[in-house]
Amino acid sequence: MAIKIEMPKLSDTMEEGVIAKWNVNEGDSVSAGDIIAEVETDKATMDVEVFDAGTILKIVPGEGDAVPLGGLIAIIGEAGEDIISLLDNDSNSAATDSAPVAEDDKVTKAEEAVAAPTAIEAPSVGDGRIKASPLAKKIAADKGVDLNSIAGSGPEGRIVKKDVETAQSATSSTLTRPGAPAPMASSTAKSFSSLASQEVKVSQMRKVIAKRLSESKFTNPHFYETIDIDMKAAIEARTQLKDKLDIKISFNDIVLKASAVALSRHQAINSSWMGDTIIEHGDVHIAVAVAIDEGLMTPVLRHVDQKGLVQISSETRELAGLARDRKLTPEQMEGSTFTISNLGMFGIEEFTAIINPPNACILAVGAIRDVPVVENGAVVPGKRMKVTLSSDHRIVDGAKAAEFLNTLRSLIENPLSMLL
């Protein structure tokens, strides 16, 4: 008996999937557990496997096609089996290749034909000079109007001021009216060539990013607080770990650890708005923003407050690699209670980030800057880093956010305190 293979739900926010690649062709035999296709979801590229053995009787969508959840993607069964009834019952089989034909723009009679002013030879005297008043000549010179194309209305056909103004008005109207020919470019005008524009298909990931962040920005009342952190002690601690213990950690690892400890002390920041209730999370699960070509992914490090810097560093690198390869599982991208976005490696000194729902806050981390600071009454070189906390005002008040930032600064400026 033929079996329909439908688009499975591969992530918690998935509404449709795009067939990235088919690993089989119609007529191929498959066994239970075989991977027949790769599907691009809003978060990652996932494998689709079959749970029954048989022959691929029909492949419905092509590579690059989007299919809603539960939509038919393939049919397997015994070779030669009749599948017409299955296809007739599924709307996905009725694919159309024709695109709607755009109607030609309708043009009004006034736009179809614009009568250009008829050139009339200007009156002249016997020596070839044009008969025009001095004022008419001056206006024509200022406006760039050719007196040879104007018929005068003055005595003996003399061109007067009114004639020049009428001719200049008619010329301007002709050049600006829809359908009129464009004015001739002067020989000294610079020529520009137009570059072709292109349409870029919106990926599933970009669609979800647009939807979720738009909802967050316009639904959650954001407010922002920034604090400047002295990074001297953190730099020294990182150098000592590398030189004496051959342990390599990044400044982002230090920020992750400090944030986790601070979150365990400030429950409101580690919360979620649920409408009628607020969930104050007992666990600290931090999402880390990772930039990829298609957009942004946020793998989640779990129980960060209970882990050391070495483990945090190792897990962050592993998850970031999986994110760039689009190999994260749904479980590795769900359940965050707080998010960190770091653009310091790009030289960005300060920025604000949009809250990642359902988190109450997101921390934006800037670059470490060389700045002059005053120590013991003397101006000396210093290292500073700005971080900005975006908070949902439905959950967090300004004082609570400030208390969290001050705790975070104290932890980073005194790295040993994170171990206590």
Residues 130-154 pLDDT 10s = 777 777 787 887 777 888 888 887 7
Alpha-carbon torsion angle 406, 407, 413, 418, nearest 10: -170
Domain-wise residue ranges, the chain: 3-91, 117-175, 204-419
Across the chain, mean pLDDT equals 83
- The H or E element that residue 117 is part of is none
Contact call for residues 305 and 311 (beta carbons, < 8 A): no
The pTM score is: 0.66
* pLDDT tens string 258-305: 999 999 999 999 999 998 999 999 999 999 999 988 788 999 999 999
275 closest CA partner among 220, 325, 356, 324: 220
Contact call for residues 71 and 94 (beta carbons, < 8 A): no
> What is the dotted CATH code of the domain comprising 3-91?
2.40.50.100
Beta strands in 277-413 (DSSP E): 278-280, 286-288, 290-292, 295-297, 300-301, 338-342, 361-375, 378-392
The CATH topology of domain 117-175 is Dihydrolipoamide Transferase (4.10.320)
Contact call for residues 300 and 320 (beta carbons, < 8 A): no
Contact call for residues 199 and 173 (beta carbons, < 8 A): no
Q: CA-CA distance, 231 to 64, in Å (whole number)?
A: 47
- The H or E element that residue 104 is part of is none
The pair of three-digit structure tokens given for residue 301, joined into one six-digit string: 């490090």
Active site residue 393: yes
* Helix residue spans in 305-366 (DSSP H): 309-324
The CATH topology of domain 204-419 is Chloramphenicol Acetyltransferase (3.30.559)
Residues paired with 55 in a beta bridge: 29, 77
**Which of the following is catalytic: 266, 285, 303, 393?**
393
* pLDDT tens string 10-19: 777 778 888 9
Contact call for residues 339 and 284 (beta carbons, < 8 A): no
Strand, helix or coil for residue 28? coil
